Amino acid sequence: MSVHTKVEIEFSDSLLSFIDEWRDRQGNLIMILHKVQEEIGYIPRKAAMKVAELLEVPLAKIYGVVTFYHFFKLEKPGKNQIQVCMGTACYLKGGEDLIQELEDILGIGLNQVTDDGRFSIEAVRCVGCCGLAPVIVIGEKVYGKVTKKELPGIIAAHRDG
C-alpha cells in the first residue's frame, strides 16, 4: 500500500485519539485492534487498512495479528452472537451437541450469519463457567447447564427481544 493512498473509512474522534495515545507503546497493535473491533464490531478490510496507514505498518502485519488471535473477527457477526463454550467441561457435557442443534435451528454453520443478520454461531474456548457446563453466551447473557431442548426457547427470546 502506497503511503500516499488514503483509506476511506471514518473512525470516531475517540478511536483516533486512542490510536494516537497508543501509537508508540509496546503491544500497541493488539490494543488498537481490540478498540477498533469494540467500536465497529469486527475488523473490516478498510479498517485494517486505515490502522496500517495510521501506524505506518504493513497491512500484512495487521492481518498477521488479526488471523492469529481467535478473538478478532474479519466478518460482521450477527446482532446476537452465540458463543458456545468448548472448554473441556463444556465439551464433555455436550457443547458439540449444542453447536449441532444451533446449526439445525438457525440453518447456518459455525462462523456464519443468518440471512437476516440476527444470529451468528461461534465455538469459543473456556468462558470460565465450568460449574455451569455446558454454557452458551449471547451478548452479555450467560446460559448454564443448557440442554438441546432449551435452545429453541433461548433463540426465540433473542429473536423477539
Report the topology of domain 80-160: Glutaredoxin (3.40.30)
pLDDT, tens digit, 9 for 90 and up, residues 22-57: 999 988 999 999 999 999 999 999 999 999 999 999
151 contacts: CB under 8 Å, gap ≥ 6: 98, 101, 102, 105
C-alpha to C-alpha distance for 138 and 91, rounded to whole angstroms: 18
pLDDT at residue 27, as a whole number: 86
Check whether 136 has a pLDDT greater than 90.
Answer: yes
Check whether 7 has a pLDDT greater than 80.
Answer: no
Average pLDDT for 136-148: 96
| Whole-number average pLDDT of the chain | 93
Q: Which of 109, 107, 60 is nearest to 84 (CA)?
A: 109
Q: Is the pTM of the predicted complex or chain greater than 0.85?
A: no
pLDDT band at residue 112 using 50, 70 and 90 as cut-offs: very high
Average pLDDT for 75-96: 96
pLDDT band at residue 4 using 50, 70 and 90 as cut-offs: very low
pLDDT band at residue 70 using 50, 70 and 90 as cut-offs: confident
